[in-house]
């Protein structure tokens, strides 16, 4: 979903007596969409557009910026400020194809009814704004990396739950200390990715990812510390490669340097987890454990494949 491109008015236009000036809240995704629709109707309009959320914008006298942000206004003839339903009617009467709506609003009681409906909308507006913000593309994540970030979010969710699984069944003091420490790190990773990936972009399969993570931690925990460390080493080896692919894709894109830095920091933690697991594993896995580790590696790859899409 992309936001419509808004043609902002020069602040001086807010007092242009030759035009009907629309005073809109450019920080509100709902207002931006509506204004985008009006602006797209015809290239030549007797209208000026004034973003009242911009602190540099000089506003018509008589009301505060907060008051202009709280309701829809137009400025007619450079001096007369209309608000709410009356402002919409003035705007529609200036727009080709919308004048019938202005004529309908001129019927007895129609403007009052419209004003009541507008006040009802204003009560819902904060909740609708939050919803619209959540669906807007994130400036932090480029469109071509949304699917990868969705898989990162799903992966970090699974990682947290791997340690829930380990802690549910392991009574080994060393394993428990290791799992508690690593779980904290994975929670931080999850929070950082959640900050840049709005919830509508996240995987719809978070419950299955939690269950898969829990089992991936619980099963080796039942078998002993060596199985836990071997499992974590396998998972982290895969995660390291997964993060590296994204870091490579963001190379040479300075506008996304912050995202790349975040991924590099997460990757460094994963490599530490891998190396610590390998050091604690002491001896290479036997055939059965090696088979399990291969299964964990290919399961992680399959999960990423699914999480990119769902
Ligand atoms: Fe992580
Ligand atoms: Fe990790």
CA of 201 to the centre of ligand 1 (A): 19
| Same structural domain, 117 and 204 | no
State whether the Cα torsion 76-82-88-89 is positive or negative.
negative
| Same structural domain, 128 and 151 | no
- Which of 113, 135, 157 marks a domain boundary? 135
CA 179, distance to chain mean position in Å, is 30
Please state the pTM of the whole predicted model: 0.60
Cβ neighbors of 35 (< 8 A, separation 6 or more) are 4, 6, 22, 24, 49
With respect to residue 4, please indicate whether it lies within any of the assigned structural domains: no
DSSP 54: S
Q: What is the pLDDT of residues 238-284, one digit of tens each?
A: 999 999 999 999 888 888 888 899 999 999 999 999 999 988 887 88
Quote the CA–CA distance of 52 and 68 in Å, as a whole number.
Answer: 7
Return the higher-pLDDT residue of 232 and 137: 232
With respect to residue 290, please indicate whether it lies within any of the assigned structural domains: yes
Q: What is the pLDDT of residues 150-205, one digit of tens each?
A: 999 999 999 999 999 999 999 999 999 999 999 999 999 999 998 888 777 888 88
- Which of 135, 157, 190 marks a domain boundary? 135
CA of 69 to the centre of ligand 2 (A): 45
CA of 137 to the centre of ligand 2 (A): 27
Report every protein residue that has its C-beta within 5 angstroms of ion ligand 1.
156, 159, 186, 189
| Same structural domain, 22 and 115 | yes
| Same structural domain, 131 and 156 | no
Quote the CA–CA distance of 28 and 130 in Å, as a whole number.
Answer: 9
Domain that holds residue 37: 11-135
| Same structural domain, 164 and 289 | yes
Query: What mean pLDDT value characterizes the chain?
Result: 85
Per the structure, the count of domains in the chain is 2
Contact 304, 149 (CB under 8 A): no
Question: CA separation (Å) from 36 to 119, 267, 286?
Answer: 22, 41, 64
| Same structural domain, 196 and 215 | yes
């Amino acid at each position: 979903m992309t936001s419509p491109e808004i043609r902002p008015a020069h602040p001086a236009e807010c007092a242009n007596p030759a035009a009907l000036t629309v005073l809109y809240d450019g920080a509100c995704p709902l207002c931006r969409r509506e204004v985008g629709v009006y602006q797209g109707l015809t290239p030549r309009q007797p209208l000026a557009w004034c973003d009242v959320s911009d602190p540099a914008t000089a506003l018509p006298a008589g009301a505060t910026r907060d008051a202009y942000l709280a309701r829809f206004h137009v400025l007619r003839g450079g001096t007369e400020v209309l608000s709410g339903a009356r402002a919409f009617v003035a705007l529609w009467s200036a727009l080709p194809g919308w004048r019938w709506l202005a004529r309908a609003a001129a019927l007895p009681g129609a403007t009052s009814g419209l004003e009541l409906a507008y006040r009802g909308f204003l009560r819902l507006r904060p909740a609708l704004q939050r919803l619209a913000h959540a669906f807007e593309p994130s400036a932090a994540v480029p469109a071509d990396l949304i699917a990868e970030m969705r898989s990162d979010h799903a992966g970090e969710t699974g990682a947290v739950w791997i340690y829930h699984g380990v802690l549910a069944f392991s009574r080994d003091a060393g394993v428990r200390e290791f799992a508690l420490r690593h779980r904290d790190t994975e929670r931080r990773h999850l929070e950082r990715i959640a900050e840049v990936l709005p919830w509508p972009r996240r995987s719809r399969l978070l419950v299955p990812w939690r269950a898969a993570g829990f089992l991936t931690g619980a099963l080796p925990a039942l078998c002993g510390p060596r199985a836990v460390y071997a499992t974590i080493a396998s998972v982290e080896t895969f995660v390291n490669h997964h993060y590296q692919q994204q870091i490579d894709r963001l190379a040479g894109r300075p506008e996304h340097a912050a995202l790349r830095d975040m991924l590099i920091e997460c990757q460094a933690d994963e490599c530490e987890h891998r190396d610590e697991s390998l050091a604690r594993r002491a001896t290479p896995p036997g055939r059965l454990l090696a088979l399990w580790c291969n299964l964990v590696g290919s399961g992680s790859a399959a999960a990423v494949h699914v999480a990119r899409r769902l």
